[in-house]
Copies of this chain bind each other. A is one copy, B any other.
């Protein structure tokens, strides 16, 4: 058994990570930190874990060495303490945005911060296994993925990789858990229930990840919009793609099967009938799948590609475990076998 600790385990991503690691055949959770809830049993915050563990939160200052350290802190914290964390564990998986981007200038632009440890940026691998599997296998430091970025990148990657795309407008719909566990006016139930609320119409910081990861020799022209809708979990990326040349649905099937046919966590969902014709995050809660579908607008070069995920799973904790499995030589799907519920 490999020992793992979670820094920032009282948040939603941290809690999901804890659920996954407690059920993982090869990890043993050693410590979980929370400054606010130190001393409390984890089920005080994560009621689903009642009876599953005797763990209590500890303070960060009491963190001990372990084999793998999972960092689930809010953005802008791990970057200041990375040396310390690296002294405690051989492997680090950071779920925050602090080491996702390669270019320090991107941190200035999108996160309005001068990155304090820019020499660490090249040491981290962008942890999306479908794109960086081999690099992850040989990495000690892996960064997580932005949830909105993950479903968008996975939806677009086969087209960009083939340099088929002229331009893409990505319109993402998201649930409330994306906002984290801290109550705000925006997350107050009477205000948040039933919304169709434009959140970031003209730009969202996850765009930086798309531009970085979908650059195959030419800077991708992508526009990115996020709208909050009424769900707790889930992100759906509707990618309106304008291709350099029209592509038929048959060719799309071929392209996506070629890239994703062997992927354990990607499913192609593009049917002609039934109510489950296209990807919908609703059926993915708790699962690590990214469901991808597409539709061709006949007679045009427009293709709509849709990618759906559970933002706390494939968009965060699930993907992190998948990456850690690769780093440590475990089966890639270990601990990630929950298929999701229907209905839910």
Do residues B202 and A295 form an inter-chain contact, with CB atoms below 8 A?
Answer: yes
Tallying the copies of this chain within the complex gives 4
B residues less than 8 Å from A173 (CB atoms) = 173, 196, 227, 229
The 0/1 profile, CB within 8 Å of B marked 1, for residues 269-299 of chain A is 1010011111111111111010101011110
B residues less than 8 Å from A240 (CB atoms) = 169, 171, 223, 225, 240
Judged by a CB distance under 8 angstroms, whether A30 is at the interface is no
Judged by a CB distance under 8 angstroms, whether A216 is at the interface is no
CA distance A231 to B227 in the complex (A): 14
State the Cβ distance, A265 to closest chain B Cβ, in Å: 9
State the Cβ distance, A322 to closest chain B Cβ, in Å: 16
B residues less than 8 Å from A344 (CB atoms) = 194, 232-233, 285-286, 344
Do residues A238 and B225 form an inter-chain contact, with CB atoms below 8 A?
Answer: yes
Task: From A15, A52, A240, name the one whose CB has the most chain B CB atoms within 10 angstroms.
Answer: A240
Do residues B176 and A183 form an inter-chain contact, with CB atoms below 8 A?
Answer: no
B residues less than 8 Å from A276 (CB atoms) = 43-44, 47
State the Cβ distance, A233 to closest chain B Cβ, in Å: 6
Residues from 154 to 194 in A contacting B, C-beta threshold 8 Å? 169, 171, 173, 175-177, 179, 181-194
B residues less than 8 Å from A286 (CB atoms) = 286, 338, 341, 344
Of the four ranges (under 10, 10 to 19, 20 to 34, 35 or more), the interface on chain A belongs to: 35 or more
B residues less than 8 Å from A338 (CB atoms) = 286, 338
B residues less than 8 Å from A65 (CB atoms) = none
B residues less than 8 Å from A195 (CB atoms) = 231, 280, 282
With A176-B190, A194-B230, A230-B231: A342-B275 Cβ-Cβ less than 8 Å: no
With A201-B306, A202-B296: A51-B267 Cβ-Cβ less than 8 Å: yes
Judged by a CB distance under 8 angstroms, whether A28 is at the interface is no
Do residues B238 and A287 form an inter-chain contact, with CB atoms below 8 A?
Answer: no
Judged by a CB distance under 8 angstroms, whether A217 is at the interface is no
Say which residue of B48, B181, B274 sits within 8 Å of A341 (CB atoms): B48
Seen from chain A, the residues whose Cβ lies within 8 Å of a Cβ on chain B are 12, 15-16, 19, 22-23, 43-44, 46-52, 169, 171, 173, 175-177, 179, 181-198, 201-203, 223, 225, 227, 229-236, 238, 240, 267, 269, 271, 274-287, 289, 291, 293, 295-298, 300, 302, 304, 306, 308, 337-344
List 21 A-B residue pairs with CB atoms under 8 Å apart, sorted by A's residue number.
Answer: A50-B269, A169-B171, A177-B343, A183-B183, A183-B188, A185-B275, A187-B189, A189-B192, A189-B232, A193-B232, A194-B230, A195-B231, A195-B280, A196-B234, A198-B236, A198-B279, A198-B280, A201-B306, A203-B297, A223-B297, A286-B344
- Counting from the closest, the 6 A-B pairs by CB-CB distance are A190-B343, A189-B192, A48-B340, A198-B278, A202-B295, A196-B236
